[in-house]
Structures are given as C-alpha cells and as structure tokens.
Amino acid sequence: MNDGSTSGELADSLRALVSRLSPGDRLPSSRELIKEYRVGPATVARAIAALAAEGAVVTRPGSGTFAAQPGRHRDTAGAGAGDTDTDWQTVALTDRAVDTHLISDPLGPPPAGTITMDGGYVHRSLQPTRALSAALARAARRPDAWDRAPAGGLSALRAVFARIVGGSVAPKDVLVTAGGQSALSIAFRAIAGPGSPVLVESPTYPRALAAARAAGLRPVPVPLDADGLRPDMLADAFAMTGARLLYCQPTFQNPTGAVLPPERRRQILDVARASGAFVLEDDFARHLGHGGAVPRPLVADDLDGTVVHVTSLTKPAAPSLRIGALVARGPVMERMRAVRLVDDFFVTRPLQEAALEVLSSPSWDRHVRSLGAALRERCAVLAAAVTREIPGATLAGPPTGGLHLWVRLPSGVEDTVLTGAARQRGVAVSAGSRYFATEPPAAHLRIGFAATADHAELTEGARRLGAALTELGPRRG
C-alpha cells in the first residue's frame, strides 16, 4: 500500500485481518501498521476508529486494539448490544480512586428485623418530624421560595448560625453548606493541597478520613486519652510532619464521646498557632448534649483565624435536613466560598428556609432539651446492658453527649469477626477498626443508642451481641 492509500482501503485490509483472528486477539500496533502499509498515523487512527464504530474491534488505551466478540455491533445510538467493555477506563482514570472502605458496610444492608445500633442518626421517634414538615410547608409557600439563594447562604440563616456559635462570630463569617459532610469536603480541599499531611484524632470519624483522602490528603493519627486529644503528642506530630491542618472534634468526640477540658482547648490552639496551622473543628454534636453544660466551641474564642468551624443540623434533627455551616475568618473563608461556588453554586433555598423556620421557633429549644433527656436515658440503659451482657468489656465514659458508646472488647476478640457474628444474630454494630487512620491499638466496637425504637430494643440488642460473643468464645486466642 503506497503513501496515497486511504483510510478506507486500510480499513478493508484490517477487516480481512480481523476475520482471521479469534475474539480477543491483538491487532498489530499502530507503529507496525504504519510500517507495513506505509501510511501515516492519521490514516491508521481513522481506520481503527471506523472498525471500532462497527464493533469489529475494541480499543484499550495503553494496551492496544483487539478483535471483538462475534455479534458485537453498535446500534444507531452508538450503544453496544452486548456487554459494555469498560476496561479502557482503568487507564483513563489513573490512580484517583476514592477510598470508601471505612464508610461502606462490608456486610451489606442488614436484613429486616435487625436491631440497628451502628447508625449515626436519631430514630424517627426522636426527630421533630411535625415541626420539620410544618416548616418545609411554610417555606414552600414563600413567593421567593424557588429563587436562587445567595452563594454564602440566606443572610438570616447565617445570622442564626453566628448566634449559635457565639463569641465575636458575625454572619459574614458563616458559609451555609449542604450538611456537615459537605462542609468537611469543602474545608479539606480549600485548606490543604493534595499530598499534604492532615493530623487527625485516633480514633476519629471515618467519613472525615474518607473526605480527607478524597482530597488527596494523608491522615496522620494523634492519640487520645480519656480527656481527648493529647496536646503533647500534637506538638510532636506538627513538628515531625510539618502539617498545616488538624481535624478534631473537641465536644462529644465521635466515637469516644470525650470532651476536651478548658486547659487542653487553650493548649491545642496555642500549639496550632505556633505551628502556623489551621484547626478544623467538627462541632457536629453541639445539640446532642445529655442535659449538662456544653462547652463553647473553639472558634468562639479564636481571634486570629486559626479555627475553621463545622456545624450541622442533621444529627439532632433528621438525616435529610442537609443543612450545615462553615465558620471562619480571613482568606480561608474566601477560599472555601470559591470551592463551594465551583461545586454547586448554593444550597437549595426551600431547605434553607425550612431550617431557618425550625431554628427560629421556640419549639427548637424544647426539642433539643427533650432529645438530650432521651439520649441520657438511652445511654444509661445501653451502658448497663453492655456491662451485664459483655463481661470483660471496657466502656469509655460514659459519655455526657453524643449518640454512641465506645467499647473496648476483651482480649482475643476480633472486632470484625464479632460484628459479622452479631449481624447473624440480628444486631448491627460498628467495628472499631473503621475509626483508625492506621493500625488500631486494640479491638473496639462503637454501639449506638439513638437509632433504635426504644429501650427494649437496646437491651435486646446488647443481649444478642453478648450471645454472639459467647458463640465465638472457643475461637478466641
């Protein structure tokens, strides 16, 4: 074939070649075709594209061109009639996979009848459903309900969040987000660049670890004790890693329930300032206290922009009230506003209006008080049941806020094995290994007391968990 040969003639030659090959056989490379048929690269590319469009060959970038399965043809819309071959995407997507193994349930959805003690939301009976429905109905009737909302959030809603946070926080320091998880994702991407270290509590919230890793960050664990994050270890971690960001939960930490005492709060801010680093304060549990005093958030006493504060209404209200906020001062807020603008412009206005209605109503404070009392009772019921049903287990706390117990298992028990056995007995709990950025120092479970229907389910769930542990007894080493 001479230099004047057309891509059509080359395509005919390649069709004949494909007819002699078996499905999956590799065609000569583009370089080999150029040399054999004495044509240019563009001619080869057009010929291969024509055969691919007919379904005669399959191209896999980085691997080559292969004879297709018999009967593999494209319809007029370009869709394959047989199985779609997406192997090429492995090369195109490179190594930017999003790691969700810590937040996905390896056991799958629990079967009907399972007592759910692994969730992070309150049971429907504890949600202010009537107030939420009424607020959403009123919000939908507003004449501007479906107008575009400001990128930073409704000014009135930002003012309410500023008032909740307290201190010198002003509405201009607030950015409304689509829940706490969205806020974490925005903050991680805005504050630190891909490949940077981020210090995290050990253990910590798995979805925060997932969001940090999805942003390309490298979580570095800092140990906790009964009073929360250890400032001495934090200083060492900043010095060794050069990190410029700490993610922490100072109040009712998830999963341990620890609350940082005032002295440690000051020390942690001092260490971060000395290191030129930000503190990302996840205050998800501000409305989940069990009736006692709740400490002021770190950001309320921060005068130099060290703290970026995250709060959310989802946990104390309902899973689908996806309204949260970021609070910050200085260029970091402008950076986060830019990320949110690129992501999704703004949070849907009817939901913001409904959240504003809820927070502005006297019924909200009543709900928070009644929820706190209910959580306190549930926590006590579950703690007593776990102590009774799981001899040798050690409870952290008991917590004075939050939705969970953090339980250290007896020596020789594997948390993932026990969670699987418990699922077989009809109770779902969370393996503690999910809450560590690296190797866990011991086996734990996080057991929730807010997602069940009543006290009886809590007691029965603990009984089933104890029975599962007893069943595993002979296998423990």
**Measured between alpha carbons, how far is 183 from 172 in angstroms, rounded to an integer?**
16
**Measured between alpha carbons, how far is 454 from 122 in angstroms, rounded to an integer?**
11
pLDDT tens-digit map of 362-384: 999 999 999 999 999 999 999 99
pLDDT at 368: 97
Query: Which class for 107: exposed (0-12), middle (13-18), buried (19 or more C-beta within 10 A)?
Result: middle
Question: Which residue, among 167, 186, 170, has the nearest Cα to 329 in the 3D structure?
Answer: 170
pLDDT at 160: 97
Angle made by CA atoms 127, 188, 258, in degrees to the nearest 5: 55
Confidence of residue 94 (pLDDT cuts 50, 70, 90): low
pLDDT at 110: 77
pLDDT at 401: 97
Angle made by CA atoms 47, 51, 53, in degrees to the nearest 5: 115
By three-state DSSP, how is residue 381 classified? helix
Q: Can you give the length of the chain in residues?
A: 477
Q: What is the pTM of this model?
A: 0.81
User: In one letter, which amino acid is 15?
Assistant: R
Q: What is the mean pLDDT of residues 330-353?
A: 93
pLDDT at 192: 95
Residue matched to tokens 């991680």: 188
Q: What is the mean pLDDT of residues 214-241?
A: 95
Residue matched to tokens 């504060």: 309
List Cβ neighbours of 4 (8 Å cut-off, separation of 6 or more). Answer: none
pLDDT tens-digit map of 262-314: 999 999 999 999 999 999 999 999 999 999 999 999 999 898 999 999 999 99
Residue matched to tokens 């929360």: 228
pLDDT at 61: 67
Q: Which helix (H) or strand (E) holds 176?
A: strand 174-177
By three-state DSSP, how is residue 66 classified? strand
* Percent of all residues in the chain with a pLDDT value above 90, rounded to a whole number: 73
**Measured between alpha carbons, how far is 428 from 313 in angstroms, rounded to an integer?**
25
Instruction: Confirm if 396 and 257 have CB atoms less than 8 A apart.
Output: yes
Q: What's the token pair of residue 361?
A: 């109503």
334-357 CB burial, b ≥16 within 10 A, e <16: ebbbebbeeeeebbebbbbbbbbb
- Determine phi and psi for 157, rounding to 5 degrees: -70, -40
